[in-house]
Amino acid sequence: MAHVGHRVDYLAGFCCPVGGLAAGKPRVLCHENEIYLSNGSEFVYVYDQEGKVLKAIYRFPDQVWHVELLPLRRQLYILCARNGIYCVSLDQQSRLMKQTDGDGKEDACPSSVFPVDSDACIVPDVTLCTFTLLNDVLVTLSQAQGQWWMKLHVLLDPDQESQPCRQISQVGFSTCDQTGDDGDALSSRFLPVLCCASAPGTAGPGEGLWCSGGFTLEEPLFSLLFGIDAAMLDSPMILCGFPDGQLCCVPLKALSSSEAVDACSEVAGQAPPVKILHHLEEPVVFIGALRTEHKAPDDPDDQQLFGDSGCDCVVVVGHYGKMVAMKAERGEEAKVPEVREYYLQGPILCAACGGGSRMYYSTHSDISAVDLDWVSNASDPESIDNTAYVLPPVLSPASLSICSVVALSLSSRASEGDSELLVLSAKGRLMSCDLCSPDDAHPVRLTPEKAGQRIKELLSGIGNVSERVSFLKKAVDQKNRALTSLNQVMNVSAALLSNQDGRKPVTCTVTASWSRLLLRDTWTISCVLENSSECSLEQGWTLCVQLFTSSCAFDEDSAESATTFTFPIDQLLPGSKREVTLPLGSAEGTKLELPLTISCALFYSLREILDSASDSYESLGDLLPDDSPGLSPDKEGICLPLSKCTIDILQCLRLDDSTVPGTPPSIATLSDPVETFLKVSRVQSDPSSVEVSDQLLPKAPGALGDEYLPPSVASIKVSSELLKNALKSFCEGAPLCCAALQWLLAENTAAAALRSQDVSAVRGLAPCGGEVQLLVREVAVNNLCPAGPVQAVEILIQSPSLAEMCRVHQAVIRRIQTLVLEQAAQGSGPPDLRMQYLCQIQANHEMLLKDVQPLRDRLCLGDDASATAEKLLHVYRQLRNPSLILL
């Protein structure tokens, strides 16, 4: 399109919240010399453009969402959020101003703010979202119970009627309830758009059809868009654009003559008067009309913005940049209008249609103008009248170099041939922009008055350009920082994801140890993060350490029940390390759930980067596909797993310094377990015998009878051949039993001294304070292999606490299972075994398990307690020491 020349004049400044005004709610209207402005707050301002003074300020109970003007009645209609529609008389404003002037104070601003009380509310409705006016008809749109309702009201004469308006009818709309990136419904962020379209001659000669924001369409376009029936009704059409993208229309006369109708159903066999014209699939922010055909200079239709013949093109603009233009093709065979979609740079905050074929729209960074001037498909200018007029295939926006504009309006006081655009910036600045074409520019001799005005305009333009440069520089800096951070994140992610099998360039090593903190022995885990890559971990990365206890290991929601520790990383250069320590509990009075699974990962949040670098509401789901590696489940950032390990009781044992190499602690046994069990039972059942028992038996620090309970013992046998093949690094110069013990305690930092000593038995304390003994010895297992006895290594576990013995047993079994799987992967297999012997052992154990429950029931009932206890202890011993061997 041709270049658009303009002059910018600063008019006034209005208060705005921190961060600037938001788009959608501010509104600018101009009639004659007065400008009516709302900035999304509870105030409505009246500004005299000729005198350049603020005439009045009206204060409402809540935010103002929409403002309309009815010049014939000199009334201002205001939609107040969660209250309803208020009506303010401009004549009353004049009386208030005269009273203010009578005080004798001279000031450029009004001396007071005029509050608007509830008596001025003509349509009280908390669900109202927008409205439009058509002479004495008020059309409102509200949302209730997930459905939109269009209601028709008639404005009455307050001098003759008791109520200012009366509702006639309503019609319902059903739309898709879409949600935005933050989970809120689009209807809560975007207001619907209402306007009126009429055919030429709809109003009588003396009526002067008035609709703020409305337009008149040519007869062919009106009939093609709304149908022959609507044209025959000679009725204006109400156009409505919804936040989900639907563009609907309703005949005003059909609405005024019908009762409440739901657009999704038919009432009394009559089809609802609602028609869907198009679907933009994004929130509608503007509906307008243009004149795309050239008129002769002497054509009287050019004397008005919308002549008697009306506009020949309807435009609908969406928030994210989608624009739809609808126009009637020339020719008698045209049955449907031409519909063409364009894609502008969004997000679009507001728009306005100027004189002729231009439309102006605003984004965060600029105001642009597009021209939809018709293009003829005939090369002969004389045959223009016989050719079809089509819309341009592409649009070429022209910049006006005005940024951060949240409201636009065409002034009605512009001189003939020019257009004046009123804009409200996000910082609350009201400016006027005089638009002209290059043909109108001609040298003019400047007078001193005009020179002064020209200087003011240049200074205003310089200030606006400076503001725009500052805004663009800030946006460029933010995007550069975001791109730098994203580049670094992608490099680290690629380095980690490309080394899944080998050594990762960024590792996290976890060790458990006992340390002295605040005069207490505390069990701690240490995580060492090492960066061996060529990339630096800058600010924004977080080391996440997640702890899963044994209680939630089999829980489906273990991620929610686990404990997560986060450590922000300021900077970790290549080759650097960082260590973090987690104290998990002291040795006194703290119960630790073992084994403990520790998962380490790096996390980088993308939300801050995208929020600072983008002014739109784009979601991460639009930028990254669902199957992106490393993407967190909630798509809030990138999560890169580093390591996962298990900490068990063998790593947490505090070894006794009194353990002497070569002199293993004895596996203690009492002379008669049945007699001990009965003694403890008598002590607990007869309180009077406590004193006698204390004299005969040694005192114990634990509960009564603990000194009589025999220690729990478990045995595990492993093939010597299997251990020799697997523990070659531990068997160099050391007996097999000592090597097996060193292997079991290899991850225990306190067992480092065992590597230089031949020790086959140790004694230690568990984190909860219970004593644990480990003894490793060589044995021979008979009746298992036809070739003879099988040499094995027996691992004996003993502890007074059954729970501690079970934890140690589980830890030993876990290590042996890993060893067996590794040897099986290398191709080694077990020798020939007597399967019948193994089956017999399995059958014996099943019989023993069946005997346990009846014996426990008899013991609870007290039937022959001595014999029952002896049998039960004998069964437990057989179950704990199976005649099996791991090969």
pLDDT tens per residue, range 635-648: 578 888 888 888 88
Higher model confidence: residue 470 or residue 679? 470
Higher model confidence: residue 426 or residue 100? 426
User: Is the pLDDT assigned to residue 519 strictly greater than 90?
Assistant: no
* Mean pLDDT score, 53-71: 90
User: Is the pLDDT assigned to residue 451 strictly greater than 60?
Assistant: yes
Task: Answer whether 150's CB lies under 8 Å from 135's CB.
Answer: no
Domain co-membership, 763 together with 786: yes
Contacts of 41 (CB under 8 A, 6+ apart): 15, 17, 63, 64
Higher model confidence: residue 887 or residue 623? 887
Least confident of 454-468, 627-641, 683-697: 683-697
pLDDT at 671: 37
pLDDT at 421: 87
Q: Where does a domain end: 647, 673, 691?
A: 647
pLDDT at 6: 66
* Mean pLDDT score, 505-525: 82
Domain co-membership, 756 together with 713: yes
Least confident of 347-361, 533-547, 721-735: 721-735
d(CA 492, CA 505): 9
* Residue 134 forms part of a structural domain: no
User: Is the pLDDT assigned to residue 269 strictly greater than 70?
Assistant: no
Q: Which of 170-179, 238-247, 289-298 is modeled with the greatest confidence?
A: 238-247
Higher model confidence: residue 628 or residue 134? 134
* Mean pLDDT score, 61-74: 88
pLDDT at 854: 83
For 580, other C-beta atoms within 10 Å of its C-beta total 15
Higher model confidence: residue 402 or residue 213? 402
Domain co-membership, 785 together with 880: no
* Mean pLDDT score, 66-92: 88
User: Is the pLDDT assigned to residue 63 strictly greater than 80?
Assistant: yes
Overall number of domains in the chain: 3
d(CA 746, CA 752): 8
Q: Could you tell me the CA-to-CA distances from 706 to 7, 20, 34, 588 in Å, in that order?
A: 97, 74, 96, 19
User: Is the pLDDT assigned to residue 695 strictly greater than 70?
Assistant: no
User: Is the pLDDT assigned to residue 693 strictly greater than 60?
Assistant: no
- The pLDDT confidence band at residue 579, using thresholds 50, 70 and 90, is very high
d(CA 28, CA 411): 10
* Mean pLDDT score, 520-537: 86
The amino acid at 429: R
Query: Rounded to the nearest 10 degrees, what angle do helices 673-685 and 865-880 cross at?
Result: 130
Residue 199: name the closest of 275, 106, 309, 56 by CA: 309
Residue 149: name the closest of 124, 166, 129 by CA: 129
Place of tokens 């697997």: 726
Q: Could you tell me the CA-to-CA distances from 642 to 335, 495, 510, 530 in Å, in that order?
A: 65, 12, 11, 11
Least confident of 152-156, 158-162, 795-799: 158-162
User: Is the pLDDT assigned to residue 286 strictly greater than 90?
Assistant: yes
d(CA 404, CA 386): 44
Q: Where does a domain end: 832, 849, 877?
A: 832
Domain co-membership, 539 together with 582: yes
* Mean pLDDT score, 506-513: 88
Domain co-membership, 769 together with 853: no
CA dihedral 52→53→58→64, nearest 10 degrees, is: 30
Residue 641: name the closest of 486, 487, 499, 818 by CA: 499
Q: Where does a domain end: 647, 673, 701?
A: 647
* Residue 573 forms part of a structural domain: yes
- The pLDDT confidence band at residue 585, using thresholds 50, 70 and 90, is low
* Residue 658 forms part of a structural domain: no
Q: Which domain holds residue 715?
A: 709-832
User: Is the pLDDT assigned to residue 706 strictly greater than 50?
Assistant: no
With a pLDDT cut of 90, the percent of the chain lying above it is 14
* H-run or E-run covering 566: strand 563-569
Domain co-membership, 810 together with 820: yes
User: Is the pLDDT assigned to residue 677 strictly greater than 90?
Assistant: no
User: Is the pLDDT assigned to residue 487 strictly greater than 60?
Assistant: yes
Domain co-membership, 576 together with 596: yes
* Residue 602 forms part of a structural domain: yes
Domain co-membership, 846 together with 795: no
Task: Answer whether 433's CB lies under 8 Å from 6's CB.
Answer: yes
pLDDT at 193: 92
Least confident of 161-165, 376-380, 594-598, 785-789: 376-380
d(CA 470, CA 445): 35
- CATH number of the domain residue 641 falls in: 2.60.40.10
Domain co-membership, 809 together with 851: no
Domain co-membership, 821 together with 868: no
CA atoms within 13 A on the CB side of 13: 6
* Residue 760 forms part of a structural domain: yes
d(CA 755, CA 748): 12
The tens digit of pLDDT for each residue in 304-320 reads: 444 456 788 999 999 99
CA dihedral 611→613→615→620, nearest 10 degrees, is: -50
Domain co-membership, 782 together with 873: no
pLDDT at 756: 72
d(CA 857, CA 867): 13
The tens digit of pLDDT for each residue in 800-831 reads: 887 888 888 888 888 888 888 887 777 666 66
Residue 197: name the closest of 91, 109, 271, 275 by CA: 275
* Mean pLDDT score, 363-387: 65
With a pLDDT cut of 70, the percent of the chain lying above it is 70
* Residue 653 forms part of a structural domain: no
Query: Mean pLDDT score of the chain, rounded to an integer?
Result: 75
* Residue 65 forms part of a structural domain: no
Beta-bridge partners for 798: 713, 773
- The pLDDT confidence band at residue 94, using thresholds 50, 70 and 90, is low
Q: Which of 356-370, 682-696, 706-720, 821-835 is modeled with the greatest confidence?
A: 356-370
d(CA 417, CA 698): 114
Domain co-membership, 851 together with 828: no
User: Is the pLDDT assigned to residue 629 strictly greater than 80?
Assistant: no
Terminal Cα-to-Cα distance of the chain (whole angstroms): 86
d(CA 195, CA 333): 30
CA 376 to chain CA centroid, Å, is 49
* Mean pLDDT score, 697-712: 47
DSSP type of residue 178? -
Q: What is this structure's pTM?
A: 0.53
User: Is the pLDDT assigned to residue 552 strictly greater than 70?
Assistant: no
* Residue 259 forms part of a structural domain: no
